[in-house]
Amino acid sequence: MSDAVVLAERPAAGVLLVRINRPEARNALNLEVRRLLARHLTESGEDPTVRCVVLTGNEKSFAAGADIKEMAGATTVDMIARGTAKLWRAIAACPKPVIAAVNGFALGGGCELAMTCDIIIAGESAKFGQPEVRIGIIPGGGATQRLTRAVGKYKAMRYILTGDLFSAREAFDMGLVSEIVPDAEVEKRALEMAQKIAELPPLAIEQAKEAVLRGMDAALDTGLALETKSSQLLFSSQDQKEGMAAFIEKRKPRFQGK
């Protein structure tokens, strides 16, 4: 088993911490890391004991981009054979909420990795960016689409076409970052939020995530119809009955994901 991605002990019930562990390369995303991330997030999505995932790096880098040394001499055929598009889809497809805890650099593929997550908690000193044009390529892990959807055409164009980096504050102001905290508190805050989510009814959480993601690119009427059906569906769950009974009885609910 490689240690390029470390699955830490669960810090709280229902919470899984996944840490990228290539400090010597500023957590650059080589093919091995991408494959392990895809596998771990796929397994997390299928594990009923996991209710929320926190994805992080270290205090200096979330992930400083793709591993350029690994691809510098690659041909078009080589890049197709790598199959990274399938790995990105697997990472983004996790049905459980995924929180990115970002310290240091989140550049190129690292910024794209954060954007596959549902919530981004960033340290005050974090730096984001899509600098691919500076080495003769363009983003290949979703930034031309996800960044544009997150911040709008004109902000996305400004950073994708120049390769300039932007701060956590700028990312927050643009709507890319969910919350900014002191650098030393990033992981703690992400885990606190993950624990809060993990204590909520998992079926409702998964349905809410799906409604948001599926509805984003659909017509408003289609998204609203999905929301309505998802809401109605949850009335067949034991958690809905428990949640409403607990509310009426003024007690803490016990959600079991049923």
Alpha-carbon span 220 to 171, nearest angstrom: 26
Percent over 70 (pLDDT), the chain: 98
Question: Nearest 5°: phi and psi at 116?
Answer: -80, -15
Q: Do 14 and 99 fall into the same domain?
A: yes
Q: Do 137 and 218 fall into the same domain?
A: no
Q: Which of 14, 57, 104, 109 is catalytic?
A: 109
Q: If you average pLDDT over every residue of the chain, what do you get? A: 93
The model's pLDDT over 183-229, given as tens digits with 9 standing for 90+, comes to 999 999 999 999 999 999 999 999 999 999 999 989 999 999 999 99
Q: Answer whether residue 257 is part of any domain.
A: no
Element (H, E) at 111: helix 109-115
Q: Is this prediction's pTM over 0.85? A: yes
Q: What is the CATH number of the domain that holds 241?
A: 1.10.12.10
What one-character DSSP code corresponds to residue 50?
-
Q: Do 183 and 209 fall into the same domain?
A: no
Tell me: pLDDT of 181 over 70.
yes
pLDDT value at residue 2: 57
Q: Which of 132, 171, 208, 211 is catalytic?
A: 132
pLDDT value at residue 72: 84
Q: Do 217 and 117 fall into the same domain?
A: no
Tell me: pLDDT of 244 over 50.
yes
Q: Do 34 and 151 fall into the same domain?
A: yes
Alpha-carbon span 35 to 29, nearest angstrom: 10
163 pLDDT band, cuts 50/70/90, is very high
Q: Do 155 and 215 fall into the same domain?
A: no
Q: Do 226 and 111 fall into the same domain?
A: no
Q: Do 132 and 217 fall into the same domain?
A: no
Q: Which of 112, 171, 198, 243 is catalytic?
A: 112
Q: How many domains does the chain have?
A: 2
Active site residue 170: no
Q: Do 106 and 16 fall into the same domain?
A: yes
Say what the alpha-carbon torsion angle 144, 88, 121, 94 is, to the nearest 10 degrees: 130
Alpha-carbon span 173 to 208, nearest angstrom: 24
Active site residue 63: no
Q: Which of 63, 66, 156, 194 is catalytic?
A: 66
Active site residue 163: no
Domain that includes residue 118, residue range: 5-198
Q: Do 133 and 218 fall into the same domain?
A: no
Q: What is the CATH number of the domain that holds 49?
A: 3.90.226.10
Q: Answer whether residue 256 is part of any domain.
A: no
CA distances 112 to 128, 131, 201, Å, are: 10, 12, 29
Per DSSP bridges, beta strands 127-129 and 165-167 are: antiparallel
Q: Do 174 and 209 fall into the same domain?
A: no
Tell me: pLDDT of 1 over 70.
no
Active site residue 112: yes
